[in-house]
Amino acid sequence: MKLSQAFRMAFKSIWSNKLRTALSMLGMLIGVATVIALVAMSEGSSRQVQAQVESLGAANMLQVTITGRGLTTSLTKDEAMAFADIANVEGVSPIVNGSVTAKFGTTSESYTVEGVTPEYETVRDVGFTKGRFIVDLDNVNYSKVALIGANVATDLFGTEDPVGETILLNGSRYKVVGQLETKGDSINGSADDKILIPLATGERMFQSKGVKSIYLKVSDTDQSELVQAQLERKLAEKFPNTTNAYRVINQQEAMETVGSVTQTMTSMMAGIAAISLVVGGIGIMNIMLVSVTERTREIGIRKSLGAKRRDILLQFLIEAVAISGLGGAFGIAIGYIASHVIGVVMSTETAVSLSMVGWAFAFSAGVGVIFGIFPANKAARLRPVDALRHD
C-alpha cells in the first residue's frame, strides 16, 4: 500500500469519528498549551530580571560598596579615583547618596539624590536631554546645582522647562542646570526619580566624609575578573585582616548567575508541563486500543484481501500521530492566546520562543508515535481468521 493511501485511510477514519477524535486530542491540546503558556511566563520573567540586572550597569561594570571597619567607613574621593590606575579600567565614578525632600512652588516630593563627578556620565552611561552635566568646577566650588530625572521634572514642573529654575533640597536652594534622559525602572528603583548634584556638595549635604559607593567601567569585558582581583587586593590593603569591610559586585557574573537560575526555572516548568503531554499520550493510546477492538472485522477483511502487516501498522500509527499532531497544533494556538491573556491580566511580560513551539510540537508528535505503536502493533498482529470470527 502506498503511503498516500495510508494517509487517506487514516484521516478518513479520524473524520468519521469526530467527537472521539476531538476528545482524544484534548489531553494533548491542554498539555501543549500549558507548556507554551508556562514557558512563556518563565521566559518573560527571565527577560525582565535580566533587563533589571543590566540596568544596574553594563556587563563591563564593577560596583564597590564600602561598609567600613572601625573608624574607617569610607574612601576619600582621591582614593576612589586612584582605582583608575588599574589596568583595563576605563573610568571610575565615586558616589554619595541619600534621600531628600525637593520642593518647587507648592509641590513637595521625596527623591533620591546622588552626589557625582563628571565621570558618572560615561561610567554609568547617563545622558541628558536639556542643559548640561556636572563639571569639575562644580565640585571645586561646591556649587549648588542639580540635574533632575524625567519623573522629577514632571512632578515639580509639569510641562514647563525646568532648566534655569531654582528648587529647594532639604531647604537649600539649588539651580537646575539639566534634565536627565529617561532610563526607566531598575532593581534599585526608578532612575527617573533621581537628582544629581556635585559630589563635594553631596558630601556636605549628607555630612559624609568620603564615599561608600564606587562604579568602575572596564574597557575589556574579558578582563573583568582580573580587574576585580586587583581591585580587591587594593581594598584589602586599605582594610587589612577583614573581608566584610567591602563588597565588589561583578555585573557580568551577576547576569550569568541570573541567566543560569532563570534557565533552570524554565526547564523545570517545561518538565512539569510535559507530564500533561504524557497523560494526553496515554489517552490517545486508550482510544486507539478501543478503535482496534471496534475495527477488528475491518482489519480481518483487509488482510484477507491482501493487506500486509506493515500496511495495518502504518495506518493505525498515522492515525495516532495525526491525532496527537493536531492536538499539538491547536495547543500551540491556545498557548499563544493564553500567554498573551496572562501577560495582560497579570501586567507582566511573556515571551513565546519559536524554538519552544518547535519542541512542543515535535514532542506531541513523538508522543503519538510512542503511544500509538502498541495499539498499531496489536492491530497488525491480528490473524485474518480470528479477526473475521470476531463479533
Reported as a single tens digit per residue, the pLDDT across 83-132 is 999 988 989 999 999 999 999 999 999 999 999 999 999 988 888 899 99
Same domain? For 168 and 78 the reply is yes
Is the pLDDT at 65 greater than 70? The verdict is: yes
The residue out of 213, 244, 275 marking a domain boundary is 244
Is 93 inside a domain boundary? yes
Is 58 inside a domain boundary? no
10, 318 contact by CB (below 8 A): yes
Is the pLDDT at 282 greater than 60? The verdict is: yes
Same domain? For 223 and 335 the reply is no
**Separation of alpha carbons 214 and 115, rounded Å:** 11
Is the pLDDT at 186 greater than 70? The verdict is: no
Is the pLDDT at 260 greater than 80? The verdict is: no
Is 95 inside a domain boundary? yes
Task: Give this prediction's pTM.
Answer: 0.60
| Mean pLDDT of the 251-268 span | 68
**Separation of alpha carbons 122 and 114, rounded Å:** 15
Same domain? For 214 and 299 the reply is no
Same domain? For 300 and 363 the reply is yes
The two beta strands, 145-148 and 172-180, are: parallel
Confidence band for 369, pLDDT divided at 50, 70 and 90: confident
125, 58 contact by CB (below 8 A): yes
Q: What angle do CA 220, 49, 63 make, to 5 degrees?
A: 40
Amino acid at 257: T
The residue out of 218, 244, 270 marking a domain boundary is 244
Is 319 inside a domain boundary? yes
Same domain? For 240 and 295 the reply is no
DSSP state of 69: B
302, 380 contact by CB (below 8 A): no
217, 125 contact by CB (below 8 A): no
Is 285 inside a domain boundary? yes
pLDDT of residue 184: 67
Cα–Cα separations (whole angstroms), residue 131 to 9, 90, 151, 180, 333: 76, 26, 16, 9, 51
Same domain? For 156 and 109 the reply is yes
Same domain? For 121 and 35 the reply is no
Same domain? For 133 and 203 the reply is yes
The residue out of 244, 267, 283 marking a domain boundary is 244
B/e letters for 233-248, b = 16+ CB within 10 Å, e = fewer, are eebeeebeeeeebbeb
Number of compact structural domains in the chain: 2
Same domain? For 342 and 380 the reply is yes
Same domain? For 212 and 74 the reply is yes
Confidence band for 183, pLDDT divided at 50, 70 and 90: confident
Same domain? For 268 and 214 the reply is no
Same domain? For 217 and 365 the reply is no
State which residues form the domain around 103: 68-244
Among 131-145, 182-196, 361-375, the least confident range: 182-196
Is 60 inside a domain boundary? no
Burial of 77 (0-12, 13-18, 19+ CB in 10 A): buried
